[in-house]
Amino acid sequence: MNNEEYYDVLIIGSGAAGLTLALSLPDSLKVAVLSKTTIEENATFYAQGGISAVIDDSDSIAAHVEDTVRTGGGLCKPETVQFIVERGRESIDWLSSKGVSFSKRRSKSGRQELHLTQEGGHSARRVVHAADKTGEAIENALVSRFRKSSVGLFENHIAIDLICSHSLPKRCDGVFVLDKSNNQIRSIGAKITVLATGGAGKVYLYTSNPDVSTGDGIAMAWRAGCRVANMEFVQFHPTCLYHPDAKSLLLTEALRGEGGILRLPNGRRFAEGYHPMGELAPRDAVAQAIDTEMKKGGYDHVYLDISHKSEDFIKKHFPNAYEGCLRFGFDLSSQPIPIVPAAHYFCGGVVTDLKGRTNIENLYSIGETGCTGLHGANRMASNSLLECLVLAESSAAAIADKLDKKSTFVKIPDWDESLVVDSEEEVVVSHNWDELRRVMWNYVGIVRSSSRLQKARRRIDLLKLEIAEFYGSYKMKSDLIELRNLVQVADLIIKSATHRKESRGLHYTLDYPESNQKYNEDTLLDPQED
């Protein structure tokens, strides 16, 4: 096997965080981006809402910070929130310079200005968007710029594990990678390795995430020795289309920001009975309200109704949601739409500082993979893309400064598969994949309890053993790599949720329905203490 493949910076993931970093690094560096499928297939592409930033004169940095901290349930790091929020306008300007066409409106004075919408938890209109296809607009613009750059690209390559030294402090020297086109494994060396692999929504049965969101970065980092934090705080988006053939059609929160109403099957409005902000409450409150009403009434779904708005308004502001619903036989402009909550965003992840640095030398983590302290116990809508952009930029500066100093490549090992054989039992992988996601949905979902977590713990422990045995015996395939990562993420979620004996933010348990000052801190997990 040829190991003469080395880069100054290897970025694993091609969403907003990964591509922003790639485009922000100096041209003098040899950089490559690794993508599991095509470069465009990632959670960024499917993000509909927008990016929160203080734009309007009636808004303020202080108000944005206050909203974020309030939504975060007492666990946000104030210095992190301040650092990221105050760079919002700069991030919007940077994206505009890269070709992103944000939605505009005509001001009273007649000039064109950014159209701002309002989403859950925000006290002002501060969400910059491109209709309801913001992520697609951002990804397409960044990909276009990327293809004109000198940055290398490995599409259809999935990372297996990080290559780390055994010295102290531990150092990351690259990654083992499966080339899905020929099922061959290669080792790629790097002075700096960056995890930008997104979240892990596929650990749940219902999710708004694309199939690539399997927690790869978090799982690899944990196995390598990275600390993780706040894995119990999983955000469930309240409104995904309920239809057997709709895999992950998210109906943007901006629909509620523009007047969308949640209704029961009998037409009754119910959100205001759970939170004074009604449909505009933070996502955890809205998701819990929906979950409670579904369980109480025995409903498979509830409804989102914006049919009181004109057809022209809906087509102009929500073309993606309108066309998506039409594909499944629903007209957003004339009827209520059936919806259910679905796993959406991970507030926890690999612990980093504001430069993306982990506790392993030369290993960085940005975007949803990392945990900076911005979101605390609950992410406020549209803060995630902002974090991707700001952390990618600050990481780029830190990496460029580090590599400006004397730095050399380290010889990396080959992958050893001398003791494994081809599998004739692929059904084991598919069965475990399905069981894992159902266990997590049923026992570790929107509403939890100690007994549910214990049931999940027992089954996940067995699945970990089965998957580890399969992994050690058979040749590597993409589904097995992802399953191994998902079961590790599931294990971390359950450990974190079991530790937090209170209800806070996105973690709600029937046994401890109130918050407890004893737990007014991050849930930190360290593989050295596991």
Pick 135 or 254 by higher pLDDT: 135
| Percentage, residues of the chain above pLDDT 70 | 99
Report domain extents, the chain: 1-233+347-417, 241-341, 426-524
Report the pLDDT value the prediction gives residue 1, as an integer from 0 to 100: 39
pLDDT per residue over 378-437, tens digit each? Answer: 999 899 999 999 999 999 999 999 998 767 788 898 898 877 888 766 788 889 999 999
- Select from 142, 139, 141, 133 the least CA-distant residue to 50: 133
Any idea what the Cα angle at residue 133 is, between residues 129 and 138, rounded to 5°? Answer: 75
Helix axes 16-24, 134-147, angle to 10 degrees: 30
Phi–psi pair at 339, nearest 5 degrees: -140, 155
Alpha-carbon distance of 430 to 4, in angstroms, equals: 35
* Omega of the bond leading into 78 within 30 degrees of 0 (cis): no
Domain 1-233+347-417 is found in CATH 3.50.50.60: yes
Catalytic residue among 283, 437, 448, 504: 283
pLDDT per residue over 256-273, tens digit each? Answer: 989 999 999 999 999 999
Q: What is the DSSP letter of 413?
A: P
CB atoms closer than 10 angstroms to residue 219: 25
DSSP H stretches of helix in 301-382: 311-317, 319-327
Structure tokens at 380: 């406020």
Q: Class of 426-524 per CATH?
A: mainly alpha
Q: What is the mean pLDDT of residues 100-121?
A: 88
Please, which pLDDT band fits residue 47 given cuts at 50, 70 and 90?
A: confident
Report the pLDDT value the prediction gives residue 361, as an integer from 0 to 100: 96
**Cβ neighbours of residue 111 closer than 8 Å, sequence gap 6 or more:** none
* H or E segment to which residue 142 belongs: helix 134-147
**Cβ neighbours of residue 488 closer than 8 Å, sequence gap 6 or more:** 215, 218, 219, 222, 223, 464
Report the pLDDT value the prediction gives residue 416, as an integer from 0 to 100: 84
Q: How far is CA 183 from the centre of its chain?
A: 27
Domain at 241-341: CATH architecture: Alpha-Beta Complex (3.90)
Which regions of 146-256 does DSSP assign to beta strands (E)?
A: 152-154, 157-164, 172-179, 184-195, 228-229, 234-241
Phi–psi pair at 368, nearest 5 degrees: -65, -20
Please state which of the ranges 143-147, 226-230, 427-431, 444-448 shows the lowest mean pLDDT: 427-431
pLDDT per residue over 295-320, tens digit each? Answer: 889 898 999 999 999 999 999 999 98
- Select from 354, 363, 367, 395 the least CA-distant residue to 17: 367
Q: What average pLDDT is seen over the chain?
A: 93
Q: Is 303 helix (H, G, I), strand (E, B) or coil?
A: strand
Please, which pLDDT band fits residue 323 given cuts at 50, 70 and 90?
A: very high
pLDDT per residue over 192-229, tens digit each? Answer: 999 999 999 999 988 989 999 999 999 999 999 999 99
Structure tokens at 82: 């301040």
The question of whether 457 is a catalytic residue gets the answer no
Q: What is the mean pLDDT of residues 288-292?
A: 89
Structure tokens at 293: 């009403």
Alpha-carbon distance of 503 to 507, in angstroms, equals: 6
Structure tokens at 159: 């990372």
